[in-house]
């Protein structure tokens, strides 16, 4: 295991702890940033789609068990996000790579997650738009701040 992989493992552990203990304190009208998605996108960009899928599935499955939601829903959405993020590596300019990938993967993640979560409700389109746009915006804002401060620590 390389030093970057060890740092990402520690970062994922910290993200888990913060996601399930302190993030509810910065919740705005029920919307919370997805710290695990932020770390997953960063890791997938560095390691590629196979690692992204593996870590996405693992992180999502643990998130499913901790949050007591539909088992497999976060695993599915994070697996897809990790795979797409890994495949987008090198497709954008270096200065915008993380943000554009986070937008694309976050949108895809939230669409899959909320589509299945709200399946059977009368206003599924309204729910998708409402939750996806606002949740993703908050995740991108927090992701930008964290990326600015944490990414230099993850350089090889």
CATH of the domain at 31: 1.10.1760.20
pLDDT at 120: 73
| Three-class secondary structure of residue 35 per DSSP | helix
Distance CA 92, CA 103 (A): 13
pLDDT at 41: 95
Q: What is the rounded average pLDDT of the residues 93-110?
A: 92
Tell me the percentage of the chain whose pLDDT exceeds 90.
49
CA 40 and chain centroid, separation: 6
Domain count within the chain: 1
Q: What is the rounded average pLDDT of the residues 134-144?
A: 91
- With tokens 């350089």, the residue in question is 155
Does residue 90 have a pLDDT over 70?
Answer: yes
What's the domain range around 9?
3-154
Residue-by-residue DSSP string for 67-116:
HTSSTTHHHHHHHHHHHHHHHTTTSS-TTTHHHHHHHHHHHHHHHHHHHH
Does residue 68 have a pLDDT over 90?
Answer: no
Q: Residue 50 to residues 14, 80, 90, 155: CA-CA distances in angstroms?
A: 23, 11, 15, 20
- Residues found in the chain: 156
Which of 67 and 75 is assigned the larger pLDDT?
75
pTM above 0.75, yes or no: yes
């Amino acid at each position: 295991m390389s030093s970057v992989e060890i740092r990402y493992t520690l970062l994922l552990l910290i993200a888990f702890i913060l996601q399930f203990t302190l993030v509810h304190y910065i919740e705005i009208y029920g919307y919370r940033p997805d710290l695990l998605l932020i770390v997953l996108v960063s890791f997938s960009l560095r390691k590629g789609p196979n690692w992204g899928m593996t870590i996405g599935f693992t992180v999502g499955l643990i998130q499913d068990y901790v949050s007591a939601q539909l088992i497999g829903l976060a695993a599915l959405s994070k697996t897809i996000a990790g795979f797409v993020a890994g495949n987008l590596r090198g497709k954008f300019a270096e200065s915008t790579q993380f943000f554009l990938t986070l937008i694309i993967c976050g949108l895809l993640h939230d669409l899959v997650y909320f589509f299945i979560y709200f399946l059977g409700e009368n206003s599924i389109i309204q729910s998708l738009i409402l939750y996806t746009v606002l949740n993703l915006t908050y995740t991108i804002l927090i992701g930008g701040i964290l990326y600015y401060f944490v990414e230099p620590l993850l350089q090889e």
